Amino acid sequence: MKTKLWIVDKSETKHESYPQLVEASMLLKQGEVVAFPTETVYGLGADATSDQAVDKIFSAKGRPSDNPLIVHIAEQSQLDDFIEEVPDHALRLMEAFWPGPLTIILKKKEGLSDKVTAGLSTVGVRMPDHPIALALIKEANLPIAAPSANLSGKPSPTTAQHVIQDLDGRVSGIVDGGATGVGVESTVVDCTTEIPVIFRPGGVTREQLESVVGEVLVDPALLKEGEAPKSPGMKYTHYAPDAPLLIVDGSKEFLQKKINEYQQSGKKVGVLTTDENKAYYQADQIICCGKREDLATVAHDLYHVLRSFNEYDVDTILSESFPVEGVGQAIMNRLIKAAGHHVISE
């Protein structure tokens, strides 16, 4: 399959400024898969009402079909076509955070492919805060099912080049709208319960959610190994670079001690650190992932840095840990998934 590439300047704010998206939307209407940028990561989109189209997402990614997908919309009125009800707390969250990096789980009715929801009676929906994504969805006039546009298990893509590395020849088209903003996926919140429950931390923090709807619970499966997660994209190991990744929970001195131990056993060691600490470590490859004093920069760079290690000859990657508060919860959740829950504590 030849993959088409459309380059679109997202600084053009008028819908008419994106003639390239007409061809991309036609492919979506024809049941093909097209990758496109959102404010979080690049998504791999297909018509959420078509079994055949959704099958192509799973095939292109190599993603298990029992892993549900998030549906992307451009206008709230689209919910009428496939959502049974929108509870009051869900409505308040939509008003506060849509468009934006928040996926809301709601009870579905007929209208979507069962393959989108992996047979569940609920579906995750979001409205991306990205002019190109919104324009594409409007042009296609369809709800678009879209997981991240990477091979299953690999770090999510934050540039079109990442998508090309993973999916060139496997998808019909890629819309290149430049680098994404947030860097980690949307927060997923179940609003089918009386008290909302976070199934996946992401670009909207628990604190932000609670400022709108009061108490918000966290799914115990998030940071625990062995618990079965209920969110799209969280059921299997994800985000992993080629070399094994371990999280080191402790001081800089403890991490350097671990580097030394691995090097003494003959391994080349990479270190994932931050601007504040990079000068401290001695390792075979050191890559910075933003500023510890501004965790939003770490979230923004995380997947790019995980992918960057694949360009170097390292046998093991040791990562610093981060505070599990605010966007730090999303960062640690992704790192723990990438490390297969391998954490070394001081």
| Residue 15 annotated as lining a ligand binding site | no
| Residue 303 annotated as lining a ligand binding site | no
| pLDDT band (50, 70, 90) for residue 222 | confident
Read off the pLDDT of residues 256-307 as tens digits, 9 standing for 90 and up.
999 999 999 999 999 999 999 999 999 999 999 999 999 999 999 999 999 9
pLDDT for residue 206 is more than 50:
yes
Across residues 196-200, what is the average pLDDT? 95
pLDDT for residue 241 is more than 50:
yes
| Residue 63 annotated as lining a ligand binding site | yes
Q: Are 201 and 222 in contact (CB under 8 A)?
A: yes
- Residue 302: which of 325, 281, 327, 284 has the closest Cα? 327
Read off the pLDDT of residues 50-104 as tens digits, 9 standing for 90 and up.
999 999 999 999 988 888 999 999 999 999 999 999 999 999 999 999 999 999 9
- Note the pLDDT of residue 13: 58
- Residue 128: which of 82, 78, 85, 60 has the closest Cα? 78
- Residue 137: which of 295, 268, 21 has the closest Cα? 21
**Residue 168 has what DSSP assignment?**
T
Read off the pLDDT of residues 2-37 as tens digits, 9 standing for 90 and up.
999 999 987 775 656 678 899 999 999 999 999 999
| Residue 72 annotated as lining a ligand binding site | yes
> Please, which residues have CB within 8 angstroms of residue 281's CB and are 6 or more apart in sequence?
252, 255, 256, 259, 271, 273
Read off the pLDDT of residues 160-171 as tens digits, 9 standing for 90 and up.
999 999 999 999
Query: What stretches of the chain show up as alpha helix (H) in DSSP?
Result: 20-29, 51-61, 88-97, 114-117, 131-140, 160-167, 206-213, 252-264, 295-308, 328-338
- Residue 275: which of 258, 248, 300 has the closest Cα? 300
- Judge residue 88's burial from the number of C-beta atoms within 10 Å of its C-beta, 0-12 exposed, 13-18 middle, 19 or more buried: exposed
Q: Are 77 and 248 in contact (CB under 8 A)?
A: no
| Residue 172 annotated as lining a ligand binding site | no
Count other Cβ atoms within 10 Å, centred on residue 211. Answer: 11
- Residue 175: which of 301, 38, 326 has the closest Cα? 38
- Note the pLDDT of residue 230: 55
| Residue 77 annotated as lining a ligand binding site | no
The two three-digit tokens of residue 209, written as one number = 């959610």
Count other Cβ atoms within 10 Å, centred on residue 276. Answer: 13
| Residue 146 annotated as lining a ligand binding site | yes
Domains and CATH numbers, the chain: 4-82+103-182 (3.90.870.10), 245-345 (3.40.50.11030)
- Note the pLDDT of residue 16: 61
Q: Are 165 and 303 in contact (CB under 8 A)?
A: no
Across residues 203-221, what is the average pLDDT? 94
**Cis peptide leading into 99, omega within 30 of 0?**
yes
Lowest mean pLDDT among 35-39, 168-172, 195-199, 240-244: 240-244
Lowest mean pLDDT among 189-193, 287-291, 336-340: 336-340
Cα-trace Rg, the chain: 20
Cα separations (Å) of 65 from 2, 119, 147, 149, 152? Answer: 24, 10, 12, 15, 11
Q: Are 24 and 36 in contact (CB under 8 A)?
A: yes
User: Could you give the CA distance from residue 33 to residue 174 in angstroms, rounded to a whole number?
Assistant: 9
| Residue 186 annotated as lining a ligand binding site | yes
pLDDT for residue 225 is more than 80:
no
| Residue 92 annotated as lining a ligand binding site | no
Distinct helix (H) and strand (E) counts, the chain: 10, 16
| Residue 206 annotated as lining a ligand binding site | no
User: Could you give the CA distance from residue 171 to residue 59 in angstroms, rounded to a whole number?
Assistant: 10
- Note the pLDDT of residue 228: 47
Place of tokens 């994800």: 238
Read off the pLDDT of residues 107-148 as tens digits, 9 standing for 90 and up.
999 999 999 998 899 999 999 999 999 999 999 999 999 999
pTM of the model as a whole: 0.91
pLDDT for residue 229 is more than 50:
no
- Note the pLDDT of residue 10: 79
| Residue 122 annotated as lining a ligand binding site | yes
